Amino acid sequence: MIIKNVRLKVEKFTISDAFFWSKIDSNPKVRHFVDGKKQTYSQSVAYIKKNISSYEKSGFGRYIVRLRKNNEVIGMCGYLEENYGIDFGYRYNPSVWGKGIGFEVAKLVLKFGIKDLKFQKIYALSHIENYGSIRILEKLNFEKQDMVVINSQHAILFVLKVERN
């Protein structure tokens, strides 16, 4: 267990999460602002394996998010090492959008990244029209660093520089 609060829990992915994770990542609505490519079951398994390797190699990865009341898998949030640095990312089942969960988990996982993982700089990418994601990053004090083109889509590269006293 990485984090839990009253309604949610955040844990490392395991291969046994593949079925329910694949249900989320095969939804075109979920992938619309990611890369527009809905994921097959085997791609979802590969994604989980990538995160398990990242836990082993780097000590962090993306984490699976569940509702505590019934253990339902609702999405993921966490970190992966990218060529520009530590990338913060998240995505959820549309059934839970607009209920404050995206922000609530992002805030918890960000605190974990700063306090426990000791990150100094955290990056996040958001498609320019992904207003919900942009709002989450702005509420967490990420700043716009650059405009980039990824998979032919215009995106904003955000950065959070952690100040320690």
Ligand X SMILES: CC(C)(COP(=O)(O)OP(=O)(O)OC[C@H]1O[C@@H](n2cnc3c(N)ncnc32)[C@H](O)[C@@H]1OP(=O)(O)O)[C@@H](O)C(=O)NCCC(=O)NCCS
Which residues contribute to the site for ligand X (CB under 6 A)?
30, 33-34, 90-92, 97-103, 125-126, 130-133, 135-136
Identity of the residue, 57 or 95, whose beta carbon is nearer to ligand X in the bound complex = 95
Contact 87, 119 (CB under 8 A): no
User: Shortest distance, CB of residue 4 to ligand X, whole angstroms?
Assistant: 18
Q: What are phi and psi of 135, to 5 degrees?
A: -65, -40
Contacts of 27 (CB under 8 A, 6+ apart): 38, 93, 94
CA distance 71 to 122: 29
User: Shortest distance, CB of residue 59 to ligand X, whole angstroms?
Assistant: 23
Identity of the residue, 19 or 131, whose beta carbon is nearer to ligand X in the bound complex = 131
Contacts of 133 (CB under 8 A, 6+ apart): 33, 90, 102, 126, 127
Identity of the residue, 35 or 116, whose beta carbon is nearer to ligand X in the bound complex = 35
Helix axes 101-115, 131-139, angle to 10 degrees: 40
Identity of the residue, 57 or 68, whose beta carbon is nearer to ligand X in the bound complex = 68
User: Shortest distance, CB of residue 120 to ligand X, whole angstroms?
Assistant: 22
Identity of the residue, 64 or 125, whose beta carbon is nearer to ligand X in the bound complex = 125
User: Shortest distance, CB of residue 165 to ligand X, whole angstroms?
Assistant: 27
The residue whose Cβ lies closest to ligand X is 102
User: Shortest distance, CB of residue 154 to ligand X, whole angstroms?
Assistant: 13
